[in-house]
């Protein structure tokens, strides 16, 4: 009810954004519930609807609100995925620049090679078991390219889960999402599926034998091969 004026910030919307995000974080607006209607916020903060809408839009771009058209914005405590999706639009521009896809994929190689090394050194019994069953799912799907794609993704996803760091699975989802436009237009051949499966086996063996070097080598070989396939399909112009 109090005027938020005199908050000495160039833009009124900014102070509203601060107050709202604070109320969200403090739980005053609990997760999953819709925000009060714009007209209520308007009188609560003593501002016009213009400013309310600006603030709401800003918060939704930050991932603290989920705004569907014609609906009340839903309060969302942001997770690591929200951070990733905040970059999405920018990234999509960057991927159109020459070299953008390769730069992104190279970071994936970097990260994933570090992951398999760490897995080879620290993977627990259940991690290994999960990898093993993912491998079997791979093997069972070599002839069904659509399904193989899913099991392929699942195998790599496991690598990102082993360190128990919630940033990493989010990062994997990001890679999958951003590289999907290239990947999904590639031809899916059973031979390639089989080669990928065998590459996965090699990675798994490296982890199983607690041999970081072997695991990393296998993974780099696997991803380099994938990149070559991309280049063959799109003609290097990335």
- The contact set with DNA (CB under 7 A) reads 10-13, 35, 37-40, 46-51, 53-54, 67, 69-73
C-beta of residue 175 within 8 angstroms of C-beta of residue 227: no
Q: Quick one: tokens of 3?
A: 């005027």
Whole-Å CA distances, 209 to 115, 123, 168, 214: 15, 11, 24, 9
Query: Which residues inside 139-178 make contact with a second copy, applying CB under 8 A?
Result: 163, 165-168, 171
Q: Which does 39 bind (CB under 5 to 8 A by kind): a second copy, DNA, none?
A: DNA
In the block, which residue shows the tokens 């990928």? 196
Question: How far is the C-alpha of 180 from the C-alpha of 174, rounded, in Å?
Answer: 10
Q: Which does 63 bind (CB under 5 to 8 A by kind): a second copy, DNA, none?
A: a second copy
Residue 95 makes CB contacts below 8 A (sequence gap 6+) with 101, 104, 178, 181
Which stretch, 38-46, 47-55, 133-141, 200-208, contacts a second copy (CB under 8 A)?
47-55
Sites of contact with a second copy (CB under 8 A): 10-11, 21, 25, 50, 53-54, 57-58, 61-64, 69-70, 78-80, 82-84, 86-87, 89-91, 93-94, 96, 103-104, 106-107, 110-111, 113-115, 117-118, 163, 165-168, 171
């Amino acid at each position: 009810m109090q005027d938020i004026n005199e908050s000495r910030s160039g833009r009124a919307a900014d102070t509203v954004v601060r107050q709202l995000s604070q109320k969200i974080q403090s739980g005053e607006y609990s997760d999953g519930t819709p925000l009060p209607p714009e007209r209520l916020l308007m009188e609560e903060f003593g501002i016009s609807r213009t400013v309310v809408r600006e603030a709401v839009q800003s918060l939704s771009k930050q991932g603290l609100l989920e705004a569907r058209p014609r609906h009340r914005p839903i309060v969302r405590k942001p997770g690591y995925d929200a951070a990733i999706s905040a970059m999405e639009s920018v990234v999509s521009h960057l991927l159109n620049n020459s070299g953008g896809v390769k730069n992104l994929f190279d970071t994936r190689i970097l990260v994933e090679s570090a992951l398999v090394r760490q897995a080879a050194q620290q993977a627990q019994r259940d991690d290994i078991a999960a990898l093993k069953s993912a491998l079997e799912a791979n093997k069972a799907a070599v002839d069904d390219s659509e399904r193989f794609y899913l099991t392929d993704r699942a195998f790599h996803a496991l690598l990102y889960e082993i360190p128990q760091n919630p940033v990493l699975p989010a990062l994997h989802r990001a890679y999958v999402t951003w590289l999907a436009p290239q990947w999904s237009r590639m031809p899916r051949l059973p031979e390639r599926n089989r080669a990928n499966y065998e590459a996965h086996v090699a990675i798994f063996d490296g982890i199983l034998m607690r041999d970081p070097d072997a695991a990393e080598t296998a993974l780099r070989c696997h991803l380099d091969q994938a990149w070559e396939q991309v280049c063959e399909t799109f003609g290097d112009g990335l």
